[in-house]
Amino acid sequence: MFSKDEIIDILQDNKANSEIFELADKTRAKYSGNAVHLRALIEFSNNCKCFCKYCGLRCENKKLQRYRMQPDEIVSTAKTAVGAGYKTVVLQSGEDAFFTRDIMCKIIENIKKLGPAVTLSIGERSKDDYKAFKDAGADRYLLRIETTDKNLYKKMHPHMDFENRLKCLKNLKELGYETGTGCLVGLPGQTIESLAEDILFFKEIDADMVGIGPFIPHPDTPLGDFSHGNFHLALKVMALTRILLKNVNIPATTAMETLKPDGRLIALKSGANVVMPNVTSPLYIEKYEIYPGKAAPADDIIQTRTEIEQKISSIGRTISLGCGFRGEIS
C-alpha cells in the first residue's frame, strides 16, 4: 500500500497525523474487530545474560536486585490469572539459563492444563528448545527485532548477532508459532528511514503480532543520559504497521502509557487491539525494571482487570471472550 518513501514522508511530516491515526483505527475495526484481547503478563525472572544498552535488566546493571520466581509460583500466578478471566498468559523473562528446556516445558504443560493460550517471551533459544516448547503447548512467541538497522543493532546489543535474531524469528515461524516481533522508537542514532524499514520488515516476515514502544532511558544503563523517544512518532510507526499488516495483533504497550497518561487508550484508538495487563506479584514488579516509571498496575489481579476493563469500555470497546489469535473477531 505505501512505498518506503511514502512511509518516510508520513513519519517525517506531522500534518497528516490525525488522518493516519483514523485510518489505522478503521483498519483495526475492519480486520480485528471491536473487542480488545487481554493478555496476562507474568514477568517471572529479571536475570539476564544480555548487555542490551537500553535495558535495565542488562547483566552489567549491578544495582538491580535480581529475582526468579519458582516454577510452582509461576503456575499458580497463571492459575489466578485464568480465574480472573484471562484467555492468554504471557511468560516473560530476561535470558535466564536457570529455565532450561525441561523446566520451561513443565511450566508450559502445567499452565496449558488450565486452558489458556500461552505466549513466551524469553529471548533467543535453539530451534530444538523452541520445538520442545511448542510440543509442550506454547502457542505464541514474542521476540522483537528491536531495530532492523544492522549497525545500530550491533551498537545496541554487544555480544549479540543480528543474523541469529533473524534466524530465531524464522525458526519460530517454521515451527508454527504465532510470532510477534517489534521495535523500539527513538533509540539514540536511529533514523526515520530505518523505522520505515522496520515497518516493511514486519510485513516481509509476515509477523502475527507487532509490539512497538518508545525508548525510555534507564539511568543505570549506558543510555541513561539520552532523551526518550517521541510518543507520536512511536504511535505513527504503530498506526502504519496496522495499515500495512491489516489483521495482526498489536498491543497498546506499557511504554506508551509510561510516556503519556492514557497512552494505551490513545494507542487503542490508533490501531492497537491488545492490552497486556501485568499480573506479576507486586513483590517483583518493581524489580522488573526494563525502564523506569513503568505504569504500575493495581495490587491484585482482579482489581487490575476491573480497572482495565473500565478504561476499555470508556472508549466504546469490548473485551474479547476468545483467545485472540490473529484475525479472530470476537
Q: Which of 169, 291, 312, 326 binds ligand 5AD (CB under 6 A)?
A: 291
Nearer to ligand 5AD, 35 or 184 (CB): 184
Which among 171, 183, 95, 112 is positioned nearest to 144, based on CA atoms? 183
Asked if 223 contacts 296 with a C-beta cutoff of 8 angstroms, the reply is no
Among 7, 55, 248, 308, the residue binding ligand 5AD under the rule CB under 6 A is: 55
Q: Does 184 bind ligand 5AD (CB under 6 A)?
A: yes
Binding of ligand 5AD at residue 198 (CB under 6 A)?
no
Kindly state whether residue 232 participates in binding ligand 5AD, applying the rule CB under 6 A. no
Q: Which stretch binds ligand 5AD (CB under 6 A): 192-200, 208-216, 234-242, 303-311?
A: 208-216
Q: Tell which one of 94, 116, 213, 251 touches ligand 5AD (CB under 6 A).
A: 213
Cα gap 304→320, rounded to integer Å: 16
Which DSSP string do the residues of 57-100 spell out, in sequence order?
Answer: T-TT-TTSPP-B--HHHHHHHHHHHHHTT-SEEEEEE---TTS-
In the complex, the smallest distance separating the C-beta of residue 202 from ligand 5AD, rounded to whole angstroms, is 14
Distance between CA atoms of residues 62 and 48, nearest Å:
12
What is the smallest separation between the CB atom of 216 and ligand 5AD, expressed in angstroms?
4
Contacting ligand 5AD within 138-157 (CB under 6 A): 144, 146
Q: Where are the alpha helices (DSSP H) in the chain?
A: 4-12, 17-32, 71-83, 101-112, 127-135, 150-156, 162-174, 192-204, 231-245, 254-259, 263-268, 282-285, 301-314
Q: Backbone phi, then psi, for 287, in 5-degree steps?
A: -85, -15
Quick check: 195 binds ligand 5AD (CB under 6 A)?
Answer: no
**Contacts of ligand 5AD in 234-273 (CB under 6 A):** 255
Q: Write out the residues near ligand 5AD by the rule CB under 6 A.
A: 54-55, 144, 146, 184, 213, 215-216, 218, 255, 290-291
